[in-house]
Amino acid sequence: MDEKPVLVDLREGYRVVTLNRPQRLNAFNEAMHVALAAALEEAEADGSCRAVLLTGAGRGFCAGQDLTDRLAAGETPALGGALEQFYNPLVRKLRALPFPVVAAVNGVAAGAGANVALACDIVLAARSASFVQAFARIGLVPDSGGTWFLPRLVGAARARALALLAEPVAAEQAERWGLIWKVLDDAALMGEAERLCENFARGPTVGLALIKRALDAAETNDLAAQLDLERDLQREAGQTPDFAEGVRAFLEKRAPAFTGKRST
Ligand code: LHQ
């Protein structure tokens, strides 16, 4: 069933990475983790890749950990080890990739699947999609950054209820709460995700990567430290050819032609 647990489609300037275990709503097993990690590494190593679109095959986005994989055999699995080996590096990688990652949540996103989506830079969801912090239903704790993302995205009261009640949140509610960026009609989801990635693929990539870094650092910095960081990152952004091109294009009243490169 799992011949290719992750599909990679090379587009002009970006890659579409599709979780591909549709019979299990794209739940993670080891093979899918390994393939996804490789797909993200390859995207990062490819200098022409300036965005990633992450989505799921079939009717789900991702149902979190595959509960039939080893767990059903009655093993007492080393869950901490699974997080250390697979989920935590995945979340760190999504945040650290030096270009935007757009999640197109095409259906249910449950457990670690929901939090992997929330780790992406821009989260779009189909109107039929939902987000479930399913962990409490099976006696677990939200992982893959869930306890960190949820209160930051939706506030303490909603984060607690989502984690403790493990009730699904419909995509429209998720958008209203600020859990995600935008909900779209199912048929419009991929088109909009592709449009965003096409724009990112023509964007000032170094500057966009620095924005990711600044916003992540802001979660723990005080204002003084953040002002210092903005100064340092702006210095770096200001040395890119894309900054010079952006200003030139503005003055010449034309669209900029960004290269996404660090230097000429
Ligand atoms: C599944 C799964 C699944 C296997 C649907 N596994 N087959 C990290 C570290 C290490 C270990 C522990 O966990 C973690 C993090 C986690 O992610 S823990 C949370 C794991 N995920 C869940 O608890 C979610 C389990 N799934 C569900 O609650 C439902 O399937 C959802 C709400 C996602 C979707 O419900 P429905 O739309 O009603 O679909 P369904 O339940 O009928 O699922 C369709 C098929 O997919 C079905 O197989 P079948 O052979 O009966 O057609 C499910 O068994 C299978 N599936 N999730 N996680």
Helices and strands (DSSP H and E) totals, the chain? 11, 10
CA distances from 49 to 10, 12, 83, 123, 203 (A): 9, 8, 28, 19, 11
CA distances from 69 to 3, 32, 65, 74, 206 (A): 16, 12, 8, 10, 40
Domain positions in the chain are 6-201, 205-251
Architecture per CATH, domain 205-251, reads as: Orthogonal Bundle (1.10)
Q: Whose CA is nearest to atom 54 of ligand 1?
A: 24
Q: Which numeric CATH code is attached to 6-201?
A: 3.90.226.10
pTM here is: 0.97
* SS3 state of residue 218: helix
Share of the chain above pLDDT 90, in %: 93
Which stretches of the chain are DSSP H helices?
A: 30-45, 79-82, 88-96, 112-118, 146-154, 156-165, 171-177, 189-201, 205-218, 223-238, 241-251
H helix or E strand, kind and range, residue 47: none
Q: Whose CA is nearest to atom 48 of ligand 1?
A: 24
Atom of ligand 1 at shortest distance to CA of 68?
Answer: 4
Task: Pick from 1, 32, 67 the residue to mutate for probing ligand 1's pocket: most ligand atoms within 8 Å of its CB.
Answer: 67
CB 146, CB 204: distance < 8 Å? no
Q: What is the pLDDT of residues 85-100, one digit of tens each?
A: 999 999 999 999 999 9
In short, whether 90's Cβ falls inside 6 Å of ligand 1 is: no
Tokens 């984060």, residue located: 159
Atom of ligand 1 at shortest distance to CA of 83?
Answer: 9
- Model confidence at 77, pLDDT cuts 50, 70, 90, reads low
Atom of ligand 1 at shortest distance to CA of 25?
Answer: 46
What's the CA gap between 53 and 94, in Å, rounded?
11
What's the CA gap between 151 and 219, in Å, rounded?
11
The full DSSP string for 103-120 is EEE-SEEETHHHHHHHTS
In short, whether 108's Cβ falls inside 6 Å of ligand 1 is: yes
Atom of ligand 1 at shortest distance to CA of 79?
Answer: 10
Share of the chain above pLDDT 70, in %: 96
In short, whether 21's Cβ falls inside 6 Å of ligand 1 is: no
Cross-strand bridge partners of residue 9? 16
State in Å: Cα 74 to ligand 1 middle.
Answer: 17
- Model confidence at 162, pLDDT cuts 50, 70, 90, reads very high
Q: Whose CA is nearest to atom 52 of ligand 1?
A: 23
Q: Whose CA is nearest to atom 46 of ligand 1?
A: 24
Q: What is the pLDDT of residue 78?
A: 83
pLDDT of 75 > 80? The answer is no
What's the CA gap between 143 and 84, in Å, rounded?
11
